[in-house]
């Protein structure tokens, strides 16, 4: 193979195919998809509670789309990967999966990603979820109870009793861990939508905990207001937002061509330090993926913050940023999928 052909070779080590081995009917509108992970891929699919998988969903006319679904399994309990999908009104991907996913089907997936992850499983947790927002919260709760010493208080809002996902499992957890786990169900059919004031009244005793919030935007807005009302510090509040990607994170990655000046980069990733050349016009994420490194990401379009990393030294520039706010930028955060080098030497850490 010529040097030119070698440089043009695509690097697709970031894309994998997993088989669905079980489909669990959680409710009339929700399904859990259980994926088996081959032994040779086990190291690539290690994950933290609260993270998600990005799935490629077949579309009409041969097209496809990417969607992110949180893992409801726990790395402290489950050998398989489980994502839970709830039908969205008018949503193609969620309805396609609920209608078509069967054991034996294979889907292309990206490795686990996301930063909705507790720093410690020993710090007490306040978990606020609504609807399918219970999915990452369930992973966090199970992991804290099995892999840590945290006390966990969970508030879970739904339209009615038939909408409750993991109802039986949550009840079993309260029996198994009576001194460490409590779940309060809020049913709109009985109490109306949860207001900030009502939520504040329920969660006030837990103001010293760490809060993790996931659900539809109205619920998250009420939860954030309630957390402010009880005086929980902002740095104790963690929010996960649903993602609807417009780009194609499964597209081939072409190895950057040599030639021209390149920056020298040192990257801290997964507990190791990587040294590499960083071509001037190539986003950092593409450089890492094309060299076979499992950098976290989900969109490759600056639409999410899964690839957020910290600039420890040197200067970079972002081509696009739809997610990081001024406070993030002040901390030195940047999006690897949109970041190109400016200075000669740059030090980056994936430490979020």
Q: How many whole angstroms separate alpha carbon 257 and alpha carbon 209?
A: 50
Helix axes 134-147, 167-176, angle to 10 degrees: 20
List the structure tokens of 242.
Answer: 């649903």
Assessment of whether the complete model's pTM goes beyond 0.75: yes
CATH code assigned to 257-349: 3.10.20.30
- As annotated, the residues of the chain forming the CATH 3.10.20.30 domain(s) are 257-349
> How crowded is the C-beta side of 137, counted as CA atoms within 13 Å?
32
Q: Where in the chain is the domain with CATH 3.40.50.80?
A: 125-240
Structure-token pair, residue 105: 């089907």
CA distance 91 to 88: 5
Cα separation, 136 vs 11, whole angstroms: 30
Every domain of the chain with CATH number 2.40.30.10 lies at 13-113
What 3-state class would DSSP assign to 15? strand
Work out whether the CA dihedral 203, 204, 206, 212 comes out positive or negative.
positive
Decide if pLDDT at 11 tops 60. Answer: no
Token digits for 224?
A: 């954030």
Q: What is the mean pLDDT of the chain?
A: 90
304 pLDDT band, cuts 50/70/90, is confident
In this prediction, residue 22 carries a pLDDT of: 98
132-164 per-position pLDDT tens digit:
999 999 999 999 999 999 999 999 999 999 999
* Res 294: pLDDT: 82
End-to-end, the C-alpha distance of the chain in Å comes to 40
More confident residue, 295 or 147: 147
Question: Which residues make Cβ contacts (< 8 Å) with residue 56, sequence separation at least 6?
Answer: 64, 65, 66, 107, 108, 109, 250
Please tell me which residue, 352 or 58, carries the higher pLDDT value: 58
CA distance 109 to 19: 10
Percent of residues in the chain assigned helix, strand, coil, to nearest 5: 25, 35, 40
pLDDT bucket at 315, cuts 50 / 70 / 90: very high
Q: Report in angstroms the alpha-carbon separations of 276 from 148, 211, 266, 319.
A: 37, 38, 7, 21
Q: Which two tokens stand for residue 246?
A: 């417009």
Pairing, β 237-240 against β 210-214: parallel
Structure tokens at 243: 């993602």
Other CB atoms within a 10 A radius of the CB of residue 311 amount to 18
Which residue in the block uniquely carries the two structure tokens 């052909």? 5
Q: Per residue in 103-119, pLDDT tens?
A: 999 999 998 988 899 99
With b for 16 or more beta-carbon neighbours within 10 A and e for fewer, the 93-110 pattern comes to bbebbbeebeeeeebbbb
CATH of 13-113, one of 2.60.40.10, 3.30.70.20, 1.10.10.60, 2.40.30.10: 2.40.30.10
Dump pLDDT digits (tens) for 28-40.
Answer: 999 999 999 999 9
Instruction: Count the neighbouring beta carbons within 10 Å of the beta carbon of residue 295.
Output: 25
CATH of domain 125-240: 3.40.50.80
Of the pLDDT bands very low, low, confident and very high (cuts 50, 70, 90), residue 13 is: low
> Rounded to the nearest 5°, which phi and psi values hold at 54?
-100, 120
């Amino acid at each position: 193979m010529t040097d030119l052909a070698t440089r043009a070779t695509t690097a697709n080590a970031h894309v994998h195919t997993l088989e669905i081995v079980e489909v669990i009917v959680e409710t009339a509108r929700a399904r859990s998809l259980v994926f088996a992970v081959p032994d040779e891929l086990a190291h690539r699919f290690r994950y933290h509670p609260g993270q998600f998988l990005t799935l490629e969903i077949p579309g009409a006319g041969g097209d496809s789309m990417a969607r992110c679904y949180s893992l409801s399994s726990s790395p402290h309990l489950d050998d398989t990967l489980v994502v839970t999908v709830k039908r969205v009104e008018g949503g193609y991907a969620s309805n396609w999966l609920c209608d078509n996913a069967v054991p034996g089907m294979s889907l292309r997936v990206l490795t686990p990603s996301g930063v909705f992850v507790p720093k410690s499983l020993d710090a007490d947790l306040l978990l606020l979820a609504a609807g399918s927002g219970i999915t990452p919260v369930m992973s966090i709760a199970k992991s804290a109870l099995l892999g840590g010493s945290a006390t966990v208080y969970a508030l879970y809002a739904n339209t009615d009793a038939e909408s409750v996902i993991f109802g039986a499992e949550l009840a079993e957890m309260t029996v198994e861990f009576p001194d460490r786990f409590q779940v309060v169900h809020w049913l709109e059919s009985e109490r109306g939508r949860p207001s900030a004031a009502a939520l504040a009244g329920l969660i006030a005793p837990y103001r010293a905990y760490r809060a993790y919030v996931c659900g539809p935007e109205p619920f998250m807005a009420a939860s954030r207001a309630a957390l402010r009302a009880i005086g929980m510090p902002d740095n104790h509040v963690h929010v996960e937002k649903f993602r609807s990607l417009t780009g194609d994170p499964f597209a081939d990655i072409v190895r950057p061509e040599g030639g021209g000046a390149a920056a020298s980069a040192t990257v801290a990733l997964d507990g190791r330090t990587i040294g590499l050349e960083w071509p001037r016009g190539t986003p950092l994420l593409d450089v890492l993926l094309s060299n076979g490194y499992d950098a976290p990401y989900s969109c490759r379009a600056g639409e999410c913050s899964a690839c957020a990393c910290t600039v420890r030294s040197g200067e970079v520039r972002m081509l696009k940023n739809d997610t990081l706010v001024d406070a993030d930028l002040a901390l030195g955060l940047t999006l690897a999928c949109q970041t190109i080098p400016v200075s000669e030497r740059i030090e980056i850490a994936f430490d979020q």
